[in-house]
A and B are shown apart, each in its own frame.
Chain A
């Protein structure tokens, strides 16, 4: 059979019936119109339900149309595309709502007064008061936790990468993995059991210890990754010059990876700054300003949010304060994240020529 014959018998093997480029949009628009019709007709008051109906119509509509025109394989492909888009848009709803609500409700009472005053004697259901005491508490607790957790984490990573061989290093690696998975409330319970042992009252530093435990494995992991990126040639170059190992680490290895290490530490800070459970168990919360983290109950931003929500029995003023504190906390965490990424990009080892 000559090739010419084939071409004549089957005019085209490359071309198959296919839907025009705009068809997904058309099906989507059609689904929305029909869903609005059904929703309005059946008197469904939730717009979310309208959306779900539209999504279902879109998926089934896509399959029906594509299967009819293009065949089963293409239809499957199009349905998956539709599913993936729908999943994305669906997931966007709660996440956008979360950010939107926090910003919208948060700005209501968020002003300089709110940031610079404590709750003091303002009762939970009254308007007024602020989060100054919580900010102070959070900064002190997180600061102390970082002062403990970051050096221990970095040094452990140095040990694992630069010295670590044998059983001890393996054990540490394994338990760092295990430690990463500790729920924050368990870390809190551990410190609590120590405090019960010595019959101690709650104070800020106890919270710091729990936060430090949560922070260490995160710092170890990220620092380890960064140290592994430092090329061995650099270490050898330095050692070959007669520089002792510890100075090689301090002067060559750590400076090379300092950007990545800082980023890792900042991301870890962002994570522990939002922890509520250990603070609830160990620091208790306080309406007044307590500048001393080593004595007496303190407040912290996440715990403040929880208490404004939980202890206020539905007072709008308390909810407003909870949202404003949430916005402050998110802003703090986001800024840390953004700065950390900035540092990572700025200090990134230049690769390629």
Chain B
């Protein structure tokens, strides 16, 4: 009730102000108009920025694509310094999708397991500090993950790659010619490590919100801990975990530095995930930007536009899932 006293404290100036604003009172108050104008203006500014991003990227992209000698969607080449320039995004789209899929396949199950560990398995003395540390890890800048990935993770990949090649090399996907392990698989693993804290955090929140009464209902039926989780926790948290994963996917798709430091790129699609090569949208922009001419930059902007559209689609899907979940939990309230 401390705050209401504050309100009364704040009121004495008002009677004085009444006289001053007396005339304005019947019309709309200037202060109100200015404040509303400012805040509405900010909202409109956000819309303008979004529109401007779409318009400018599309405009520059159209300049680039009109000069493209190759096919923008299918050409396996990025030679913007040729006259006429020749480039296409097929390799980048492939690499972006593959590395993100690997990251999701690795990170989501582990993140869900850790979230369950923190909410349902870990002793409380352990879960508090661990949750806190994971929270902080989600804030570590991606360039630091990139540096760690390039200098620490990459050398440690040799053993795994050798093993995969030895036993699964025949599949083609896991064949390895012994080069530096700066490949799509390493990128995927690094991205997985990077998005793990994010997905874990959101999933943990979702699992914590499972109503106690649903868990007790399962317990009272004689369910073991795992059965409680399967009956009450996972069904309740499913859509939350999906949207958490989408959030992680968005990060993985747009990640620049962690990929740029680890991958040794080329402009081709390889069957093997272990041999270096390939590229992603964001990585390609970062590595080609330095030497790019005006046309080259426009071409990179065009590829950025595609990345923009992809992330919009992923985000849209996540929002749709969250919205559905809201309706759903509302029906149960």
Q: Do A and B actually bind?
A: yes
Please indicate the chain A residues that have their CB under 8 angstroms from the CB of B11 in the complex.
238, 241-243
Contact: B151 with A102, CB < 8 Å?
A: no
Interface size in chain A (residues, C-beta < 8 A): 105
Contact: A155 with B143, CB < 8 Å?
A: no
Q: Which of B43, B57, B136 has the most CB of A within 10 A?
A: B43
Please indicate the chain A residues that have their CB under 8 angstroms from the CB of B2 in the complex.
350
Please indicate the chain B residues that have their CB under 8 angstroms from the CB of A91 in the complex.
110, 114, 196
B264 within 8 A of A: no
Measured in the bound complex, the distance between the Cα atoms of B133 and A98 in whole Å is 13
Please indicate the chain A residues that have their CB under 8 angstroms from the CB of B52 in the complex.
190
Contact: A77 with B7, CB < 8 Å?
A: no
Please indicate the chain B residues that have their CB under 8 angstroms from the CB of A152 in the complex.
42, 45-46
A343 within 8 A of B: no
* B220 CB, min distance to chain A CBs, angstroms: 16
B147 within 8 A of A: yes
Measured in the bound complex, the distance between the Cα atoms of B21 and A246 in whole Å is 14
Please indicate the chain A residues that have their CB under 8 angstroms from the CB of B214 in the complex.
none
Contact: B35 with A326, CB < 8 Å?
A: no
The verdict on A102 contacting B148 (CB below 8 Å), with A163-B40, A189-B304, A246-B35 known, is yes
A81 within 8 A of B: yes
Contact: B32 with A246, CB < 8 Å?
A: yes
The verdict on A183 contacting B254 (CB below 8 Å), with A155-B42, A193-B301 known, is yes
Q: How large is the interface on B (under 10, 10 to 19, 20 to 34, 35 or more residues)?
A: 35 or more
A213 within 8 A of B: yes
Contact: B257 with A241, CB < 8 Å?
A: no
Q: Which B residues, 15 to 33, have Cβ-Cβ distances below 8 Å to chain A? A: 15, 18, 21, 29, 31-32
Contact: B121 with A85, CB < 8 Å?
A: yes
Please indicate the chain B residues that have their CB under 8 angstroms from the CB of A217 in the complex.
46
A9 within 8 A of B: no
Contact: B142 with A274, CB < 8 Å?
A: yes
Measured in the bound complex, the distance between the Cα atoms of B308 and A237 in whole Å is 46
Determine the residue in chain B with the shortest Cβ distance to A152.
B42
B333 within 8 A of A: no
Measured in the bound complex, the distance between the Cα atoms of B142 and A309 in whole Å is 14
The verdict on A274 contacting B39 (CB below 8 Å), with A185-B254, A238-B10, A302-B257 known, is no
Q: Of B46, B145, B257, B314, which is within 8 A of A156 by CB?
A: B46
* A177 CB, min distance to chain B CBs, angstroms: 6
A158 within 8 A of B: yes
Please indicate the chain B residues that have their CB under 8 angstroms from the CB of A329 in the complex.
141, 143-144
A132 within 8 A of B: no
Contact: A84 with B286, CB < 8 Å?
A: no
A6 within 8 A of B: no
B56 within 8 A of A: yes
Determine the residue in chain B with the shortest Cβ distance to A235.
B7
Please indicate the chain A residues that have their CB under 8 angstroms from the CB of B6 in the complex.
252, 255
Measured in the bound complex, the distance between the Cα atoms of B20 and A126 in whole Å is 70
Please indicate the chain B residues that have their CB under 8 angstroms from the CB of A164 in the complex.
43
Contact: A98 with B148, CB < 8 Å?
A: yes
Contact: B35 with A249, CB < 8 Å?
A: yes
Determine the residue in chain B with the shortest Cβ distance to A81.
B121
Contact: B196 with A101, CB < 8 Å?
A: no
Determine the residue in chain A with the shortest Cβ distance to B228.
A77
Q: Which A residues, 243 to 260, have Cβ-Cβ distances below 8 Å to chain B? A: 243-247, 249-252, 255-256
Contact: B286 with A185, CB < 8 Å?
A: yes
Measured in the bound complex, the distance between the Cα atoms of B234 and A84 in whole Å is 14
Contact: B114 with A87, CB < 8 Å?
A: yes
* B2 CB, min distance to chain A CBs, angstroms: 8
Contact: A274 with B110, CB < 8 Å?
A: no
Contact: A241 with B8, CB < 8 Å?
A: yes
Contact: B47 with A178, CB < 8 Å?
A: no
Q: Of A101, A162, A267, A276, which is within 8 A of B148 by CB?
A: A101
Determine the residue in chain A with the shortest Cβ distance to B41.
A155
Contact: B46 with A95, CB < 8 Å?
A: no
Determine the residue in chain B with the shortest Cβ distance to A245.
B32
Encoded as 1 (CB less than 8 Å from any A CB) or 0, chain B from 105 to 119 comes to 000011001101100
The 8 closest A-B pairs by CB, nearest first: A274-B141, A183-B254, A87-B113, A181-B315, A246-B35, A159-B39, A155-B42, A77-B224
Residues on B facing A (Cβ under 8 Å): 2-4, 6-8, 10-11, 14-15, 18, 21, 29, 31-32, 34-36, 38-47, 49-50, 52-53, 56-57, 59-60, 109-110, 113-114, 116-117, 121-122, 130, 133-137, 139-148, 150-153, 156, 159-160, 163, 193, 196-197, 224-227, 229, 250, 253-257, 260-261, 282, 285-286, 289, 294, 297-298, 300-301, 304, 307-308, 311-312, 314-316, 319
17 other contacts beyond A88-B113, A95-B197, A152-B42, with CB at 8 A cut-off? A49-B159, A49-B163, A73-B224, A168-B40, A172-B43, A178-B315, A179-B49, A182-B311, A185-B282, A193-B59, A247-B10, A255-B6, A274-B140, A277-B282, A329-B143, A329-B144, A330-B144
Q: Can you pick out 23 interface pairs between chain A and chain B where the beta carbons lie within 8 Å of each other?
A: A49-B163, A73-B227, A77-B224, A77-B227, A80-B229, A88-B117, A88-B122, A168-B44, A175-B50, A176-B46, A179-B46, A181-B311, A184-B256, A186-B254, A196-B298, A220-B46, A241-B7, A246-B29, A246-B31, A267-B139, A274-B144, A329-B141, A329-B144
